[in-house]
Chains A and B, each alone.
Chain A
């Protein structure tokens, strides 16, 4: 399943997509610790699988929550994206 967390508002679209089928193949879930703002957590989804998700309280603030990893200049690869061995995490901005 492709889970898109985030939102679109007047200023743009900010979505983090987690491919939960790919996520299932990973045991260690290094993404959780990789995020400096600790935005990721492991949840049991509606189909009883344990998968990574964006914390509920962060979903509506993604533009702001992810801002420290997205400076205007000299942006480095995103830690969450790099940490995932299954390349299950994608950012739309």
Chain B
């Protein structure tokens, strides 16, 4: 991949100093192990307390443990303090210490509802290796969904391939794609492999990186729009997952849809884990949590 790993995005963790988890009644965790990234979220009485977001390793259970440990780091909590843990994501069935596994669809709807409020009705999640569109109600219950994890186009991985090809750090892709005088036509190939050849051809013709990125972001946005239209878009519209951090795709998508997405106030990659933690909280309330020691 070259000396610099252009696909590498920043891993991070955070916890709220203002919340004292020991004062809380229900401490719940959600763990989302995706094929590319893993997140852990800790909630105290349905308030977001701590989270971590990191690259998934080659071992799912290990990634789950690491994500959780990192989220807990610097807090006064240990795994013993957790009343319930819900696992989700691509590797959700592989989280041995989870009390229950719930699909990423249900978790993203719940998490999106928390992050964006009860007015959210359509959620687009573009993760590392998948793309999901979810219609939900004011409680975050799923009314319709579509998940595409067969094809790299329209996923974080597809974008990583391009970042690497053009030697542009992935976190700069969006901004760079706007440094064009005129918006170019989108690349004609949906397929990432063929789009790569097409991009190479364009660069040989003298296209600057920014123009190639604009063409690719445009194609990605269009592809996603056709999927959203399959479910129908109802406002409010919100975006979760890593791609929400790429304005190159987000802005073009909003333009084509004619709908603006709600502005995120949280790290958009934690939606799944957050939903998991909310499901975990509900399980405790129903008396299905772990026994307190």
Contact = CB atoms under 8 A, between A and B. Distances in A.
Contacts of B102: 46
B150 A59 contact: yes
Contacts of A6: 148, 150
Contacts of A2: 135, 143-145, 231
Nearest to B151: A9
Contacts, number: 61
Interface of A: 1-10, 13, 15, 45-47, 59-61, 92
7 contacts: A1-B144, A2-B135, A6-B148, A6-B150, A7-B149, A7-B151, A8-B190
Contact of A10 (B142, B145, B147, B151): B151
B144 A10 contact: no
Given A1-B143, A47-B142, 11 more contacts: A2-B144, A6-B150, A8-B154, A8-B190, A9-B191, A13-B226, A46-B102, A46-B103, A47-B106, A59-B150, A60-B150
Contact of B231 (A4, A46, A60): A4
A9 B105 contact: no
Interface string B181-215: 00000000111001000000000000000000000
A8 B143 contact: no
Contacts of B153: 9-10
Nearest to B105: A46
A15 B151 contact: no
Nearest to B154: A8
Contact of B145 (A3, A7, A59, A92): A3
Interface residues of B, number: 27
Contacts of B231: 2, 4
Does more than half of chain B's interface fall in helix, strand or loop, or is it mixed? mixed
A8 B144 contact: no
Given A4-B230, A9-B191, A13-B230, A47 B150 contact: no
Contacts of B12: none
Given A9-B151, A46-B105, A4 B145 contact: yes
A59 B150 CA distance: 8
Given A7-B151, A9-B153, A46-B103, A1 B145 contact: yes
Contacts of A5: 147
Contact of A46 (B106, B149, B150, B154): B106
B100 to A, nearest CB: 10
Contacts of A10: 151, 153, 189-191, 194
A47 B135 CA distance: 15
A7 B130 CA distance: 10
Given A9-B190, A10-B190, A13-B230, A60 B106 contact: no
A18 B102 CA distance: 19
Nearest to B191: A10
Contacts of B148: 6-8
A15 B230 contact: yes
A8 B226 contact: yes
A92 B105 CA distance: 21
| Central interface residue in B142, B191, B223, B231, by most chain A CB within 10 Å | B142
B146 interface: yes
Contacts of A1: 142-145
| Central interface residue in B151, B223, B226, by most chain A CB within 10 Å | B151
